[in-house]
Structure 1
Amino acid sequence: MVDIAAIHGINMHRSQRSAMQQSWHTAMVDGLANIRSRHTGTLSLECAFYGHEYNDGKAGGEPEYAAIDIAPGLEEELLIAIGDGLEEDAGGDNEGTGTKLYLPGMVQRALAAIQRSDLFDGRDSRAIAFVKQVNRYLTDPDFRKLVHTEVSAVMEQSPRVVIAHSLGSVIAYEWLRENEPENPPALITLGSPLGLEPVRRRLLQRPGPLGWPGQVRSWTNIAARHDAVAMVKKLAPLYSPDVRDLPCDNPRRSAHSALVYLANVRTSRAIEVALA
């Protein structure tokens, strides 16, 4: 048995399992130490690492995309949703600021918002890599199977808590809907795009209605104020009134960072409650 199963999000294709294991464990332990948790010295963690699967030469593994590489459909829709979140956070709509006139107007506006922001370091290429990696997971059944096989291997260790960041929250949600772990875990989602309409539409194409994700003991969703990936901060109205939605205040530049989320006091207290 392991305390926590951790499922990462996008842009981990140049990382390694060992690096994730070390950095995530350190961030969680630091946060638990801040609240004087009794679990600080004993916390055990197993990572569901799938980032390397993007390095097969298909869409999602190349970090230097250009605007021309954006595919119509889900990729465009996700960029627009993120751009809307950034503009809402900035308190304006910034109409007409884009210069990439060969792109649809709403997409060029979204890219302009990303360039002005610190999200994805303000780089088009990282934003486009994000939407491509999400798109591949949601639309490529063979890739999705590889990812779920990795999650299944971790879940065999009967974790007490599943912590999932970004795209990892979508993966955790789907896996828990489709499987019945012998020991139901608590679920903690961080910076989740589960509230974005383009993601929800794709999930609705799977068998069964959206709602509570299977046999989980609890679901805590934590969303940072400036995190445009988690533009929809409250998942309870969309999935179940039993979801506990908590705001947090990550620094704007690192609002979507997994490590910043993991060390945040909201996450630390959620872990403490889940391990009680």
Structure 2
Amino acid sequence: MAHIVGIHGIWNNRSARAQMHEEWLAAITRGLKNVRSAHTDTLTFESAFYGHEYNDGKASDDPHYTEADLDEGFETEFAEAMAATLPDETDGHKGGRDALIRLVNCDLAEGVMSRLVGFIKQVRRYLEDDEFRRLVHAEVSNAMETRPQVVIGHSLGSVIAYDWLQRNRPDEPPALITIGSPLGYETIRKQLHQPMDRSRWPDGARTWTNIAAGLDPVALVKDLAPLFHPDIEDLPCTNRLPNPHSALQYLDNVWTSKRIDKALS
């Protein structure tokens, strides 16, 4: 049995399961120590690691991506949706490539165009490639056999966690914690639901807490309760620059630690 299952987000195709396990467990443990959790010394963690599945020559983090590589359809719509949530939106043409420029200028993907396009392509592949999604869900299913009390999904991992918990109902539903989540975007929600059912509680979750940092450019839609279900607890947090989207910053944040402690008690 593992107390927590963690599902990572984008840009992990050059990482490894052992690295994720070490880094996530250390961050979670630090946070639990800060809140004097009784579970600090007994905590067990299972990684739902799928990053290696991107290393098959398809969309990942090609260092040569430019704005010209942004495809029409989901990729353009997602870029425009993210750019539309930025402050001080100006009038004028707001096409997909203009949206990319605005997102790069706000330091999404560390201000690197190739990483931004790669991020969008990784999200698209999970949502539209049925075979790839099957591989990811198989990894999550294997991790969930440990019967966790908590599932934590970061970034794209929050989309995967939500999607898996919609389709599966564990005998003992876990508490769901989403961190740095892009689930607030309509372009993503419409890929997960039927057109008339874009607001839904995942039946496989006992509770749902969503934590979004004020400066996180991926979780620009901070509150999920108005979009999915009023029982979601939306909590703000503050992550440090230059990478406020960092999973490790979220994992030892006081709100994450308190919600983990509560779920394990």
Give your verdict on TM over 0.5.
Answer: yes
Segment of structure 1 superposing worse, 48-57 or 215-224: 215-224
* Aligned residue in 1 for 2:47: 47
DSSP 3-state at the match of 1:246? strand
Kept after mapping to 1: 8 A contact 2:104/2:116: no
* Aligned residue in 1 for 2:24: 24
DSSP 3-state at the match of 2:143? helix
Kept after mapping to 2: 8 A contact 1:95/1:109: no
Q: 1:93 aligns with which of 84, 89, 95?
A: 89
Q: 1:248 aligns with which of 234, 237, 241?
A: 237
Alpha-carbon separation, structure 1, partners of 2:57 and 2:43: 36
Q: How many residue pairs end up in the alignment?
A: 265
- Offset from partner CA, 1:140-164 (integer Å, 9 cap, x none): 0000000000000000110000000
* Aligned residue in 2 for 1:189: 178
TM-score normalized with structure 1 length: 0.91
Kept after mapping to 2: 8 A contact 1:137/1:143: yes
Whether 1:215 aligns to 2:204 is: yes
* Aligned residue in 1 for 2:136: 147
Kept after mapping to 2: 8 A contact 1:65/1:124: yes
Kept after mapping to 2: 8 A contact 1:83/1:228: no
CA RMSD of aligned residues (A): 1.8
Q: CA deviation at 1:207?
A: 10
Counterparts in 2 of 1:200-239, with a 5 A limit? 200-205=189-194, 210-239=199-228
Alpha-carbon separation, structure 1, partners of 2:195 and 2:89: 34
Alpha-carbon separation, structure 2, partners of 1:71 and 1:108: 10
Amino acid in structure 2 at the alignment position of 1:65: Y
Q: CA deviation at 1:61?
A: 4.6
Amino acid in structure 2 at the alignment position of 1:186: A
TM-score normalized with structure 2 length: 0.94
Unaligned runs of 5+ in 1: 97-103
Alpha-carbon separation, structure 2, partners of 1:166 and 1:63: 21
Segment of structure 1 superposing worse, 215-224 or 2-11: 215-224
* Aligned residue in 2 for 1:99: none
Alpha-carbon separation, structure 2, partners of 1:206 and 1:169: 21
Whether 1:268 aligns to 2:257 is: yes
Alpha-carbon separation, structure 2, partners of 1:118 and 1:152: 34
Kept after mapping to 1: 8 A contact 2:189/2:198: no
Kept after mapping to 2: 8 A contact 1:55/1:61: no
% of aligned pairs identical? 52
Q: CA deviation at 1:107?
A: 2.3
Unaligned runs of 5+ in 2: none
Alpha-carbon separation, structure 1, partners of 2:54 and 2:196: 26
